[in-house]
Amino acid sequence: MKEISSNKKRMQINKIIIHLLLILGAIITIIPFVWMILTSFKTLGESTIIPPTIFPKQMQWENYKEAMRTLPYGKFYFNTIVYTMLTTIGQIVFCSMAGYAFARINFKGKNFIFVLILSVLMVPGQIFLIPQFMIMKKLGLLNSITALVLPGLFSAYGTFLMRQFYMGIPKELEEAARLDGCNHFTIFWKIMTPLVKPGIAALAITACLYCWNSLMWPLIVNTSIDKMTLSAGLSTLSGQHGTNFPVAMAGTVLAVWPMIVLFAIFQKHFVEGMASTGSKG
Amino acid sequence: MKIKRSLSILLVVMMLVAIVAGCTKKDSDGSADGKTTLTFGLWDKYQEPIMRELADMYEAKNENIKIDIQLTPYGQYWTKLETAATGEVLPDIFWINGPNIVKYAANDMLVPLDELVESNNIDLSVYPEGLIDLYTVDGKLYGIPKDWDLTALWYNKKLFDEKGVEYPNENWTWDDMVEAARKLTDKEKGIYGIAARPDTQEGIYDTIPQAGGYIISEDRKTSGYDTKEALEGTKIWIDLLEEGLSPTLEEQADTNAIELFKGEKVAMVYAASWNVPVFMQNEVIKDHIDLTIMPLIKERAATIHGLSNAIAANSKHKDEAWDFVKFLGSKEANEVWAKSGVVIPAHKEVLDIWEAAHPEINLKAFVDELDYAVMYPVSLNTSKWNDVENEYIKQIWNRGITVEEGLKKISELMNEALTKEQ
C-alpha cells in the first residue's frame, strides 16, 4: 500500500516538473509574439528606449492606420491567399499522383528518376533563383501571380512525403481492388488517397506555411507592389538605416493573424502534420 | 463525396483565377495606352513618397510618360538587381551605390553619361567632387548623384549638462573629445562618454584619413591598412574601449551604438547624415541633441558616400530615361529632397534649404565637412574585401587580436582580393 502511494506521489511530482518545463517552453515561444503586439502599440521613441518598457504608455492605434496607409493590404491578402491556395492544391494533386506512381507502379528507370527528384532536395533553393527567373522571363510571366505560383506547384519534398505514405498501404488492398476491376487511377483516387489523408494534411500544412512565409521568390519575380505577397510587401517596411519598428510590427500583426486563426482551427492537424513529417515547414 | 466534390470545384475556381490573373497582366512596356512606362528601382520605403512626388511632378509635365516605382528592401535589393541583370530586365533607371558601381559599370550594365552630360550642357560642378569621382569608372561617368552622406559627431546635451561638461565645438581635437568622454562616463548609471563603433563609414573610414592614411590607393590596386597612419586611426578607438569610455563590442552587439544614443546611454556618437530623420523623429532625444564636425586628429577628412541614379544599358527607353534622370539631377528636383530633410540633396545650391529643414540643430556641420571630403573606397568587387574588413574589425574590437595583427590580416587579404580583380 505504502509503495503504491509513494509511486503515485513520484508520478505526481514528475507531472508537475514536466508541466513546469512545458509552461516555461510555452512562455519562451510566445514572448516574441507578445513583444510584437506590445511594440505595435508604442511610439517610435518608446520602442527604442533603454531600458525598454513592457506595456505601452499609451496605446498608439495610429501605427495600424499608418501600416494600412503605406501598404495596400487588400491586394496583399488577395495575392497571398491566391498564391497559397493554388500552390497548396497544386502540390496536393501533383505530389500525390507522383508519390503514388513511385510507390505503387513499376516502370523502367523508376529508381533513377526518383533519385533525380530527391537530388533536388540536396541543393539549396537559392540555386534555382536565377534559372527560374530566366524561365519566367522567357514565358513572359514576370510580375504576375502566375509566376509566383508556377514553380511551387510541384515539390520534390512533397513527392517523397506522399510516396512514403502510399508505400505504407498493404499490397492486399491493391490486389483486391484490381480483382474488382479497378485500374490504376481508380485505385489511386478511390482506394488509396482516402487512406493517406494524414499525409495530405501534412503536405497541405507545410505548403501553406511555406507560401505564407516565402520572401525571396515573390520579391525577385514580381516588381510592382500590386503583385506582392504579404511577406514581401512587409519587408519593404524595413529601411536601410533604421526602421519604424512600431509600424513594422503593426504591419506584421496584420500579416500573421490569418495564420494564427488557421492554426487555432486546425491545431490538431498541425501538430499531427509536424509529428508525422518531422519538419517545421 | 461531398468534400471531394467541393474540393474539385474549388480547384477549378482557383485555376480559373490563376488564368485570369495571368491574362490581366499588363504589357510590361506599358505602351498599350500610348504612354511610355519607365521603371525605377529603389530600396528605401522612407524615401519612396518623395520619389513619388518627383515622379508626379515629372508626369504632369510629360503627359506621355508614366513612372513606375519599384521598391525592394535593401536586404534583397542587390540580389534582385543581379537576377534582373542576368535576365536583362533591369529597371530603366535605378539607384546605385558606391560599393556596386564599378561592378555594374565594368560589366556594361549601365549607360555611360558623359556625352549626354556634355550635349545637354550639364554643370557637374554643382555636385560634390568626391561623388563624381566615385561614379566615374575608367574615365566615364555612370550616374548622376542624388544625395550624399558624411559622418559627424552627435552629442546629447542633457547628458553634457548633467555632468557640467562644455558642448563639443568645431575646434575640438580628438584629445578634447576623450577628455570630455572621461567626465561623461558614469558607470553607475550605465552611461558611456562615446561609442567606439566597429564601423567603416561611421568610424575608421573617417579616422584613418584624419590620421593621414587611406583605405585603398587611388589606382584601386593596394590596401592602405598596413600603414602606420591606419594603425593610429584604428588604435585611438581601441584606446577608448580599453579605458572603458565606450560600450564594449558585446554591448554594442546587443544594442548598436545608434540605438544606445537614442536610448541616452552614450553621450557622443559618430553618426552619418542618414540618421538625421531617424534622430529627429525620436521624441525622446530630438529636443536635446546637436552635432558638430568630427574632432581633429592630424588633418581634416571625412569619407563621403552618396547614391546615384543610373540608366540600364538594356533599357528600351534610354532617351526618356535620360530625360527623367536629368530632371532628377536638376535644382528643382533637389529642392524637393532638400525640403523633405530625409537625405542631403546632391545639388550644392539647395543645401541651405536642407539645413533649414531642422533649424534647431547644426546641420551646417555636414556642409562644412564637404570641403575636405574624401572619396568612399571602392573597387571592382568591393564586397569581397568589405567582408574581410567586417570580420577583422570585429575581432580587433573584441580584442581577440591586437590592432597590428588585425590590420595586417586585413591588408593581406584585401591586397589578395584586389590582385584577383586585375
pLDDT at A279: 45
ipTM of the complex: 0.78
CB B324 within 8 A of CB B67: yes
pLDDT digits (tens, 9 = 90+) for A232-262: 999 988 878 878 889 999 999 999 998 888 8
Going by C-alpha positions, the residue among B112, B109, B139, B103 that lies closest to residue B380 is B103
For residue B214 the three cell numbers come to 587611406
Best CA proximity match to B257, nearest among B235, B281, B237, B231: B237
| Residue B314 Rama label (left phi>0; alpha psi -120 to 50; beta) | alpha
Residues 6 or more apart whose CB falls under 8 angstroms from that of B404 comprise B231
Tell me how far CA of residue B246 lies from CA of A32, B153, B209, B288, B379, in angstroms. 30, 15, 22, 21, 32
pTM for the full predicted model? 0.83
B248 Ramachandran zone, left/alpha/beta (phi>0; psi -120 to 50)? beta
Going residue by residue through chain B (422 aa), what tens digit of pLDDT does each one get? 455 566 566 656 666 555 555 544 444 444 556 789 999 999 998 899 999 999 999 999 999 999 999 999 998 999 999 999 998 999 999 999 999 999 999 999 999 999 999 999 999 999 999 999 999 999 999 999 999 999 999 999 999 999 999 999 999 999 999 999 999 999 999 999 999 999 999 999 999 999 999 999 999 999 999 999 999 999 999 999 999 999 999 999 888 999 999 999 999 999 999 999 889 988 899 999 999 999 999 999 999 999 999 999 999 999 999 999 999 999 999 999 999 988 999 999 999 999 999 999 999 999 999 999 999 999 999 999 999 999 999 999 999 999 999 999 999 999 999 999 88
Closest CA to A219 of A236, A206, A207: A236
Tell me which residue in A45, A141, A145 faces B282 most closely, judged by beta carbons.
A45
Residue type, A9: K
pLDDT one-digit tens code per residue, A199-232: 998 899 889 989 998 999 999 999 888 899 999 9
Compute the nearest-CA separation of B258 from chain A (Å).
9
Q: How far is CA A189 from the centre of its chain?
A: 25
pLDDT of residue A45: 82
Query: Using CB atoms and an 8 Å cut-off, which of residues 255-284 of chain B contact chain A?
Result: 255, 258-260, 262-265, 272, 274-275, 278, 281-284
Give the closest-approach CA distance of B371 to chain A in angstroms. 25
Question: Is the separation of the CB atoms in B378 and B98 below 8 Å?
Answer: yes
Chain center to CA of B395: 24
Binary contact (B44, A239; C-beta < 8 A) = yes
Contact list in B for residue A48 (CB cut-off 8 A) is: 259, 262-263, 282, 284
Amino acid (1-letter code) at residue B252: Q
| The three grid cell numbers given for residue B213, joined into one nine-digit string | 592614411
